[in-house]
Amino acid sequence: MSTISVDPVPGRSDEMVVNMGPQHPATHGVLRVVIGLEGERITRAVPHIGYLHRNHEKIEEARTYFQVVPYTDRMDYVSGTQNELPVVLAVEDLLGVEVPQRAKQIRTIFFELFRIASHLVWMGTAMLDLGAITPFLYTFWDREIILGIVERTAGARMLPNYYTFGGVRRDVHPEFFKDVADFLDHMQRRMPDYEHLVLENPIVHARTKGVGVLSKERAIARGVTGPVLRASGVAYDVRKAFPYDAYPDVEFEVPTSSDGDTYARFWVRFQEIYQACKIIRQLLEQTPKTGPYKGKVSPRLKISGERYRAVENSRGELGVYVVGDGSDRPYRIKHRGAAFTNLQVIPDLFIGAKFSDAIAILSSLDPVFGEIDR
């Protein structure tokens, strides 16, 4: 399919070219990286993407705004409702809809629940890549609780189609707040276990410390966002820089690390789970148990104008650029994927690393191919 040459570099006949993926279990989906090896050192790394391409942007141009929202779910499928929010915010801005405060709070609770769910999946699969199976079983066990809470309210586990213009589709389940509080208590008991199994694990230290160092300058130049950027020492977080929904009302920190290595990226994601729990706890106190959950939006909305809105999803800045031409369908929708942009550092980090380190580096980038290939 590709025209990029996989031949050895002329005059370097000792270089061996290896295809990593697209069916390699450690590539988190369908990433194919053409890797040039000299002994165990990587000399070249060319990522190839597009094996999961579904033409999201073009399909969405042919759909009404209401129909676009369920499609966005299919991008970053491990973090569910987080994908819906950019489109919803952009359309709300263009329409000038008043969103009830309670709807914003519910949206933010879901947003942070999915951040925990996504980081749990990352933790399990990253440890699987490093050769540990047990954390994977435990993280999926805990993630199952989140998905159960989501299903009780939204009707689906991974692709809920729950946010809508002006709020959320339906009110939360009567026991939603109790379920979430129970889950947070459960997480509080679990987190020390995860710290023991992952962050304090000497094997993890040996495999990740000092491996795949991404300097601050390089990270900014490549445009990475999210935990990968914050692990390189840049405290950029869309939730703080351009607050949306209920984030202005809650207190949280943006964990950063100056090391920029694989371990730092692990550490930052761990701290984000703690921060997400903190945010949800505050919101559980603030959110009224009953009240409006949806603003008034005409079912036949028409939009003209253009707008870029971004949110901080589990992987970084997930943005969308919506152009409306006055009809009920978008003229153009462009998604700015966080995982897609974070993938651009693969050549920087891979070249010079050992082959087995490449697996650890890749899992620390936490790519999700639904969003990268779109």
Of residues 152, 218, 302, 336, which one binds another protein by CB under 8 A?
152
- Residue the block writes with tokens 């809470």: 149
Of residues 17, 37, 159, 199, which one binds another protein by CB under 8 A?
159
Of residues 161, 271, 344, 356, which one binds another protein by CB under 8 A?
161
Of residues 114, 176, 266, 369, which one binds another protein by CB under 8 A?
176
Q: How far is the CB of 104 from another protein (least distance, A)?
A: 16
Q: Which is nearer to another protein, 153 or 363 (CB)?
A: 153
Q: How far is the CB of 351 from another protein (least distance, A)?
A: 31
Q: Which is nearer to another protein, 31 or 97 (CB)?
A: 97
Paired strand residues for 307: 322
Query: Residue 55 burial (CB < 10 Å; 0-12/13-18/19+)?
Result: exposed
Does residue number 144 form part of the binding site for another protein (CB under 8 A)? yes
Of residues 2, 5, 67, 188, which one binds another protein by CB under 8 A?
67
Give the span between the Cα atoms of 117 and 139, in whole angstroms: 9
Of residues 292, 307, 336, 355, which one binds another protein by CB under 8 A?
292
Residue 187 tokens read as 């997480």
Say how many residues touch another protein, by CB under 8 A: 41
Q: For residue 95, what are the contacts with CB-CB under 8 A and spacing of at least 6?
A: 165, 297, 301, 303
Does residue number 294 form part of the binding site for another protein (CB under 8 A)? yes
Q: How far is the CB of 118 from another protein (least distance, A)?
A: 19
Q: For residue 199, what are the contacts with CB-CB under 8 A and spacing of at least 6?
A: 266, 267, 270
Q: Which is nearer to another protein, 154 or 224 (CB)?
A: 154
Of residues 15, 61, 171, 249, which one binds another protein by CB under 8 A?
171
Q: How far is the CB of 308 from another protein (least distance, A)?
A: 23
User: Which of positions 197-216 make contact with another protein (CB under 8 A)?
Assistant: 197, 200-203
**E strand map for the chain:** 16-20, 32-38, 41-48, 163-164, 167-168, 304-313, 316-325, 330-336
User: Which among 3-11, 164-172, 302-310, 366-374 is the span making contact with another protein, rule CB under 8 A?
Assistant: 164-172
C-beta neighbour count of 350 within 10 angstroms: 25
Q: How far is the CB of 225 from another protein (least distance, A)?
A: 28
Give the span between the Cα atoms of 144 and 150, in whole angstroms: 10
Closest CA to 115 of 205, 31, 219, 239: 239
Q: How far is the CB of 191 from another protein (least distance, A)?
A: 12
Q: How far is the CB of 159 from another protein (least distance, A)?
A: 7
**E strand map for 9-76:** 16-20, 32-38, 41-48
Q: Which is nearer to another protein, 48 or 63 (CB)?
A: 63
Closest CA to 301 of 153, 180, 196, 164: 164
Closest CA to 364 of 264, 273, 237, 272: 264
* Three-state DSSP state, 348: helix
Q: What is the contact surface with another protein in residues (CB under 8 A)?
A: 63, 66-68, 70-71, 73-74, 134, 138, 141, 144, 151-156, 159, 161, 169-174, 176, 193, 196-197, 200-203, 290, 292-294, 296, 298-299
